[in-house]
Structure 1
Amino acid sequence: MIKKLAVAGTAVLALTLSACGGGDTGGASGEGATGGTLTLAISQNMASWDLAEAGLGHSEQYYQPVFDPLLRLDQKGEVKENLATSWTYDPAMTTLTLKLRTDVKFSDGSALDSAAVKTSLLHAKAGTGESAAKLKSIDDVQAPDPSTAVVKLTAPDPGLLRNFANVPGMIASPTALTAASGPVGSGPYKLDASASTAGTEYVFVGNPDYWNKKDFPFDTIVMKTLDDPTAETNALLAGQVDGASITPDRIPALEGGGLDITKFYSGIVEGLYIWDRAGKITPALADVRVRQALNYAFDTKAIVKVAKKGLGETTTQHFAPDSEAFSADLDKKYGYDPAKAKALLAEAGYAGGFDVVMPDISTLFPEAQAAMVEQLGAVGVRVQLDKIPFSQFMPSLLQGKYALSYFKTGSTDPWNVVQLLVKEKATWNPLGYKDDHALDLVNRISLATGEEQDKLYKELNEYMVDQAWDAPWNFVQDVYASSKRVGRFNISLGLLARPSGRTTHTPDDGPGRGSACPPASTKATNPILGSQA
């Protein structure tokens, strides 16, 4: 059984490396270093400081030093106060009233009040970034007085509070919404543009006026873009970074070099994602028998054992074991059966198989790609690999360029999974697949509560597995490597925070790759703390 892990934040992708990293030793005593510099390594480039264009996954780390979210998640994944000190819903669950702190200022000196919250949220909602997609249920934001923000929704949004605890809930100064000259927030650090090099290194210095300064002990945060696993490993071994999400094959070298290795589950599901269920690019995929055949094609136990070095637990579903939607029986739905896969393909009219173009991901996941291509080929699905720069991988998927691809994403919060994958305009439904039965269930879930909602989640999960929306392999066990100087501090979303304070990540099994450095809450996954994207 997968051990529960607290991971704060919203769902995120887990496809690139992420990191938390090194620098000065600072002062300190049993709790880890204080003062000095913490250097983080991140595999994704910074695309934009504009929260309307903000991404999720590992790119979240760029925003976290500068911007504070309205809410936070505690070590159990429960929503807690942050910029907002309290919140209430109306009976219809379409009006959320937030009471705000009155002692918070942006780094430009202006007050963070309800007017600023309104301006920032509506600006972010109007964007096209992954984070903006989490705010689409917002119809309007009202500011009846400086310390009260009233969020009006078009329909109930079960995931809104948890999304407000991550990038979608971050607030930017109204004077710098597009951040053309750099980001302006109310977070624990400020960007030092003069010391930064766009696309390579970003330097953040402490915000002396931050309202919760005691929980962020480092004077300076440096974020380096490192998209090469070997360079990342060398940086860890050389003490140039204090921590990083790593691939399993790096464990022996890093353990031998004195790094601490922590493993954890974060709700991330890895496998073959079927983007083209309507057959727009590859007609064969419109037939459910073909999609089911793809599930029978994979020896998921062997993939976990060999390609994943045993770090994972096989599954057929997208909903995590500690979520309301999970059903253990569904993991018995498919098994490795190439003969059945061929029979289903023949029954659907593809006895000779079919061809499909997929992006080449061998740079970061060579073993997974080799297994995928070989096992698909064994049942007649001939894969042509498109060698694109890895920087184009995510944009290409979001643009709906491919019918199939290796991918990993997920959340321990079932509503975040719905938002990520199921809705017609979900972030990771790039070809806009529409299933009326699934969407009806989603609508009913949004209006239900308690046991009735749990029952509907399970019904949706069973339907997705029966219809073979994707061909999942396993729940990812993430791996995180950190230096001894990290001590007992928690690397929270890329920042080193004191364990007793505001931090939302507390090791249960430890950090990994695809969440965020060390782990955290039980209700949502964040591939930056040591897990995915």
Structure 2
Amino acid sequence: MMALCGSVSAQPQPTQIVVAQPADIRSTNPGVNRDNTTDGVVLNIVEGLVGYHENGTVGPLLARSYTTSADGLTYTFKLRTGVKFHNGDPMTSADVLWSWKRYMDPKTDWRCLSEFDGRSGVKVVNATAPDAQTFVLQLDKPSAVFLDTLARTDCAMAAVISKKSVKEDGSWDKPIGTGPFKFDEWKRGEFVTMSAFADYQSPPGNKADGYLGLKTPQVAQVKFLTVPDMSTSKAGLQSGAIDATQITSSDVQELKANRAVKVMGAVDAGKNTLLMQTNDPVLKDERIRQAIAYSLDMKQIVAASSEGLAHVNNSAIQETSGFYSAVQKKGYEYNPAKAKKLLQEAGYKGQAIVIQANKRAHVPSFSVAVLSQAMMQAVGINAQIEVLEWATQLDRYNSGNYQMSSFTYSSRLDPALSYEQFSGVKAKQPRKVWDDPVAQKLIDQSFVEADPKKRQALFDQLHTQMITKTPLIVLYNVTDSWGVRTRVSGFTVWEGKPFLWGTRLGSK
């Protein structure tokens, strides 16, 4: 067995928590050269004007409040007082303005520049700091998802950082943020360490709430350890060298029997799905797509694929969302007799329907495909499986070259962004799954409609149409399994990213 990286053969110090990650971070530069693993580290260090509540809605973070003008074009942020950077300097609107201008400079290579420079719809036409506690952004047109985009974790929440985060020549040095932990060291390929910020000013609240609420650091130091091999990280968890790590679903039952370890399932807004190519000669018939849905015992598929840690959600909206309504709870029924009847009505003659899948350990692509194949075959569908390398399957998805695909989407918290993720005109974007002008009109309206009740009505219409048309089947939300030592309390994972504030160490 591989030795653990980063010299963790001995027990960790009582003041340090060790979190294993399957890959090294890509950089410490917020929203630049990033991936989900990188975001999970950096967002313990930096913060933005706004952030996500646990239910996926947006609220003030470094801002104490914000207002929107009547025409929807001007956003005014009032900043919290007493907030300091990790070097002790007070944060003012001048720092917010400097950070914003840096992000909007193409040389920075910010992941989300296109979301704010007009290429993806909205353009920020002006940014000002009229006084030390006020920051103002002006848009060229209204947008219902502007604040949501500001809060996006892949954008690093447009984090406000100190000017001293960059060198004199403007090149990146290290993150000096306002978060509950301050950056200490990055030893490439081995670990990242960060320590509690003694002068941290938590957002208001008596309890944690996503990136908002109570965020007081409770442990002196955190080490994010790079352990690419999941069997090695499991061994470290069992020995006590590692305090928390993601685990494979196949290891869940074994680790549940270990009294020194607790197993947790972290559900996020990612979607495990079965995609259907509506341009395919067989699957272009809506009745055949519906027959496939009726043939699937989704409760059994989800229970088996997630080791019992998840349950069915046929909606494109995650259950923790404020937009997850009674309508969104309505899904497909398991009805093999109805499936057979629809196949007969459609004149199905036993043509092959191939499900593409991959065998990555942390996604249920293959297990979902195997279970679905058996259930489809039971009603007379000639279902077959084609196992592909993930890169090949992704290429096939992007080109629309599949009949069915057992596919996992990453998180999109606002429902408009979630529906847009798989909807659109195939002729322009072959990766789009649901090509329906009626649905697209509803999605477009949801991007500009600000009234929550009216947005809810749009999303409910979309869900009803999606269940009827069945361009894809959303099975359940992504559930990551984590193993955590019982001596650790307060450790949480949200949208695939670990929160270290509130985490405590005991003696077990």
Common fold, TM-score beyond 0.5? yes
In the alignment, which residue of structure 1 is the partner of 2:323? 324
Secondary structure at the aligned position of 1:270 is classed as: strand
In the alignment, which residue of structure 1 is the partner of 2:218? 217
Do the aligned partners of residues 238 and 464 (structure 1) sit closer, same or farther apart at CA in structure 2, a change above 3 Å counting? same
Amino acid at match of 1:496: L
Matches within 5 A, 1:156-235: 156-167=142-153, 168=155, 169-171=157-159, 172=161, 176=166, 181-183=173-175, 185-193=177-185, 195-198=186-189, 200-206=190-196, 211=201, 215-235=216-236
CA distance in 2, matches of 1:120, 1:23: 42
Q: Does 1:70 align with 2:49?
A: yes
- Cα deviation per residue 1:471-506 (whole Å; 9 max; x = unaligned)? 122345654432223234656742422389xxxxxx
Q: Which is greater in Rg?
A: 2
CA shift, 1:187, in A, is 3.3
- Cα deviation per residue 1:446-486 (whole Å; 9 max; x = unaligned)? 32514332222100111122221311223456544322232
Secondary structure at the aligned position of 2:462 is classed as: helix
In the alignment, which residue of structure 2 is the partner of 1:498? 502
In the alignment, which residue of structure 2 is the partner of 1:368? 368
CA shift, 1:94, in A, is 3.1
In the alignment, which residue of structure 2 is the partner of 1:471? 473
Secondary structure at the aligned position of 1:464 is classed as: helix
Q: TM-score if structure 1 supplies the norm length?
A: 0.70
CA distance in 2, matches of 1:284, 1:173: 57
CA distance in 1, matches of 2:384, 2:406: 13
Q: Which runs of 5+ in 1 are unaligned?
A: 1-20, 27-35, 501-533
Identify the match of residue 139 of structure 1 among 100, 117, 123: 123
Do the aligned partners of residues 74 and 51 (structure 1) sit closer, same or farther apart at CA in structure 2, a change above 3 Å counting? closer
Amino acid at match of 1:302: Q
CA distance in 2, matches of 1:247, 1:179: 39
Amino acid at match of 1:201: F
Do the aligned partners of residues 235 and 108 (structure 1) sit closer, same or farther apart at CA in structure 2, a change above 3 Å counting? same
Identify the match of residue 308 of structure 2 among 303, 307, 310: 310
Any conservation in 2 of the 1:311–1:477 contact (CA below 8 Å)?
Answer: yes
Any conservation in 2 of the 1:67–1:170 contact (CA below 8 Å)?
Answer: no
In the alignment, which residue of structure 2 is the partner of 1:515? none
- Cα deviation per residue 1:363-414 (whole Å; 9 max; x = unaligned)? 75453343245445662243221134xxx58975885576423315456653
Identify the match of residue 118 of structure 1 among 96, 100, 113: 100
Amino acid at match of 1:187: G
In the alignment, which residue of structure 2 is the partner of 1:270? 272
CA distance in 2, matches of 1:45, 1:56: 10
In the alignment, which residue of structure 1 is the partner of 2:134? 148
Do the aligned partners of residues 218 and 298 (structure 1) sit closer, same or farther apart at CA in structure 2, a change above 3 Å counting? same
Any conservation in 1 of the 2:87–2:176 contact (CA below 8 Å)?
Answer: yes
Do the aligned partners of residues 310 and 233 (structure 1) sit closer, same or farther apart at CA in structure 2, a change above 3 Å counting? same
Q: Does 1:454 align with 2:456?
A: yes
CA distance in 1, matches of 2:395, 2:174: 27
Any conservation in 2 of the 1:271–1:472 contact (CA below 8 Å)?
Answer: yes
Matches within 5 A, 1:374-393: 374-375=374-375, 379-388=381-390, 392=391
CA distance in 2, matches of 1:431, 1:373: 24
CA shift, 1:158, in A, is 3.3
Do the aligned partners of residues 376 and 339 (structure 1) sit closer, same or farther apart at CA in structure 2, a change above 3 Å counting? same
Do the aligned partners of residues 239 and 217 (structure 1) sit closer, same or farther apart at CA in structure 2, a change above 3 Å counting? same
Q: Which runs of 5+ in 2 are unaligned?
A: 1-7, 204-214
Do the aligned partners of residues 138 and 409 (structure 1) sit closer, same or farther apart at CA in structure 2, a change above 3 Å counting? same
In the alignment, which residue of structure 2 is the partner of 1:3? none
Higher relative contact order (CA 8 A, sep 6+): 1
Do the aligned partners of residues 229 and 489 (structure 1) sit closer, same or farther apart at CA in structure 2, a change above 3 Å counting? closer
In the alignment, which residue of structure 2 is the partner of 1:352? 351
Any conservation in 2 of the 1:216–1:495 contact (CA below 8 Å)?
Answer: no
Matches within 5 A, 1:239-278: 239-257=240-258, 258-263=260-265, 265-274=267-276, 276-277=277-278
Secondary structure at the aligned position of 1:407 is classed as: strand
CA distance in 2, matches of 1:128, 1:287: 43
In the alignment, which residue of structure 2 is the partner of 1:418? 419
Answer with 173-182 or 352-361: which moved more.
173-182
Amino acid at match of 1:39: V
Q: How many correspondences in the alignment?
A: 459
Secondary structure at the aligned position of 2:500 is classed as: strand
In the alignment, which residue of structure 2 is the partner of 1:87? 66
Do the aligned partners of residues 252 and 385 (structure 1) sit closer, same or farther apart at CA in structure 2, a change above 3 Å counting? closer
Do the aligned partners of residues 451 and 50 (structure 1) sit closer, same or farther apart at CA in structure 2, a change above 3 Å counting? same
Any conservation in 2 of the 1:52–1:125 contact (CA below 8 Å)?
Answer: no
Do the aligned partners of residues 370 and 180 (structure 1) sit closer, same or farther apart at CA in structure 2, a change above 3 Å counting? farther
Do the aligned partners of residues 473 and 345 (structure 1) sit closer, same or farther apart at CA in structure 2, a change above 3 Å counting? farther
Any conservation in 2 of the 1:137–1:154 contact (CA below 8 Å)?
Answer: no
- Cα deviation per residue 1:115-135 (whole Å; 9 max; x = unaligned)? 224224535999684x66765
Amino acid at match of 1:170: A
CA distance in 2, matches of 1:317, 1:125: 39
Q: TM-score if structure 2 supplies the norm length?
A: 0.73
- Cα deviation per residue 1:230-256 (whole Å; 9 max; x = unaligned)? 333222212222223444443332232
Amino acid at match of 2:453: E
CA distance in 1, matches of 2:114, 2:236: 35
In the alignment, which residue of structure 1 is the partner of 2:293? 295
Any conservation in 2 of the 1:422–1:429 contact (CA below 8 Å)?
Answer: no
Amino acid at match of 1:382: Q
CA distance in 1, matches of 2:246, 2:29: 26
- Cα deviation per residue 1:270-303 (whole Å; 9 max; x = unaligned)? 23234x55x4xx6655554454344234321221
Secondary structure at the aligned position of 1:233 is classed as: helix
CA distance in 1, matches of 2:253, 2:241: 19
Amino acid at match of 1:197: R
CA RMSD of aligned residues (A): 4.4
Any conservation in 1 of the 2:85–2:176 contact (CA below 8 Å)?
Answer: no
CA distance in 2, matches of 1:342, 1:385: 30
Secondary structure at the aligned position of 1:251 is classed as: helix
In the alignment, which residue of structure 2 is the partner of 1:60? 39
Secondary structure at the aligned position of 1:494 is classed as: strand
Do the aligned partners of residues 324 and 263 (structure 1) sit closer, same or farther apart at CA in structure 2, a change above 3 Å counting? same
- Cα deviation per residue 1:15-53 (whole Å; 9 max; x = unaligned)? xxxxxx997353xxxxxxxxx322222335534545455
Amino acid at match of 1:72: G
Q: Does 1:37 align with 2:27?
A: no
CA distance in 2, matches of 1:260, 1:75: 22
Secondary structure at the aligned position of 1:302 is classed as: helix
Do the aligned partners of residues 348 and 55 (structure 1) sit closer, same or farther apart at CA in structure 2, a change above 3 Å counting? farther
Any conservation in 2 of the 1:100–1:114 contact (CA below 8 Å)?
Answer: no
Amino acid at match of 1:148: T
Amino acid at match of 2:127: Q
